[in-house]
Amino acid sequence: MDHNKLALPVGTTLDRFIMRKQEDFPYATGELSQLLRDIALAAKIVNREINRSGLIDIAGAYGSQNVQGEDQQKLDVIANIRFIRALRNGGEVCTIISEEDDEMIQTGNNQGKYVVAIDPLDGSSNIDVNVSIGTIFSIYRRVSPTGREGTAADCLQPGTHQVAAGYVIYGSSTMMVYTTGNGVNGFTYEHSLGEFFLSHPDIITPQTGAIYSINEGSSDSFSPGVAAFVQYCKDQQFSARYIGSLVADFHRNLLKGGIYVYPATAKNKSGKLRLMYECNPLAFIVEQAGGKSSNGTRRTMEIEPQIPHERCPFFIGSKELVEKAESFIANDKEACDHKPAPEPTPKKATTVK
């Protein structure tokens, strides 16, 4: 018998992959690599908590609201604590913006060269019913001098300044997908070994697709252009697929081709999704994979953020489909006219020790 068949190689671990990529840049200090490893470690811990959620008392509402006025789930709070702690202990990050915290979080690492924007657990309304959820993150190099706390200018950079971005999907398997601006790679978690292994090298998204993902429950308040685009998708007999969990909808469309849309609606006048830790990181990934992301008229990554929790309409996926959507809403100002809405006052914010 062929010895190789008896013991197949397990493949490249995320750690080794990150290390090899770093070797391509002789002057790299290794800090970004370490930061990515910190995120992967926190993701493993969060993955463990999610997998146990039916067994111990960590499912359900926490009894508080985040800055967006949304009910926090216990796992939202747990994930927030895990990621912030990992980033704080790592030492590379001076400041964090998290979906779960009103204010910028100062880690105390004033020498840290990076800032991170993170949605620690996206799609959290799906936690209790065993539907895929995710973590989304975006990494920027700070623009203010080191040696002091990070500033608003460090945190409010346009998406074009991202040095890395990624997501973790906690689904039928757990995966981490990330880019540092040189293509997109996906890693699948092997539970028994406790490692992420390279499973999806150099992801390229199809130029077009036959899936559209939008919450049609809000269709009464779609602008005419968005409504016309949805009708176009139906006329083409596209499949409607909407999990209601952004990372899961995005991940499927990235691999299979399709478009995800969260437009302005009566309830969410600037769209629902947040520019800094939902839209921009996924926009960076989709562009690196050959796709496109826009607010209807403008490239997502070129929007100049004004506030940390800013929302924007979101059209993301296969290039041809996003361009088709843009053509429908070209003269439809309502669809893309996003202004940062004033954020509701949080009833209680999480604090991480």
Among ligand AHM, Mg ion, none, the one that 244 touches (CB under a kind-dependent 5 to 8 A) is ligand AHM
Q: Residue with CB nearest Mg ion?
A: 122
Q: Which of 38, 92, 100, 122 forms a contact with ligand AHM (CB under 6 A)?
A: 122
Per-position DSSP letters for 186-224, written without gaps between them: EEEEETTTTEEEEEE-S----SS-SEEE--GGGGGG--H
36 contact partners, CB below 8 Å, separation of at least 6:
14, 18, 164, 166, 178
Residue 123 lies near ligand AHM (rule: CB under 6 A): yes
215 belongs to the binding site for ligand AHM (CB under 6 A): yes
Q: Is 280 in the site for ligand AHM (CB under 6 A)?
A: no
Angle at 143 between CA 138 and CA 149, to 5 degrees: 90
**Is 311 one of the binding residues for ligand AHM (CB under 6 A)?**
no
29 by Cβ neighbours in 10 Å (0-12 / 13-18 / 19+) ranks as exposed
For residue 296, give both structure tokens. Answer: 């209807």
Smallest gap from Cβ 321 to ligand AHM, in A, equals 17
| Contact positions with ligand AHM (CB under 6 A) in 64-103 | 70, 99
In this complex, which beta carbon is closest to ligand AHM, that of residue 208 or of residue 215?
215
Which of ligand AHM, Mg ion, none binds 332 (CB below 5-8 Å, type-dependent)? none
Residue 170 one-letter amino acid: Y
Residue 175, token pair as written in the block: 């995966």
Structure tokens at 299: 């490239």
Residue 215 interacts with, from ligand AHM, Mg ion, none (CB under 5-8 Å by kind): ligand AHM
* Contact call for residue 119 and ligand AHM (CB under 6 A): yes
Q: Give Cα separations from 199 to 4, 17, 19, 174, 190 (angstroms).
A: 19, 12, 17, 11, 11
Residue 42: contacted member of Mg ion, ligand AHM, none (CB under 5 to 8 Å, by partner type)? none
Q: Which does 70 bind (CB under 5 to 8 A by kind): ligand AHM, Mg ion, none?
A: ligand AHM
| Residues binding ligand AHM (CB under 6 A) | 70, 99, 119, 122-124, 215, 244-246, 249, 272
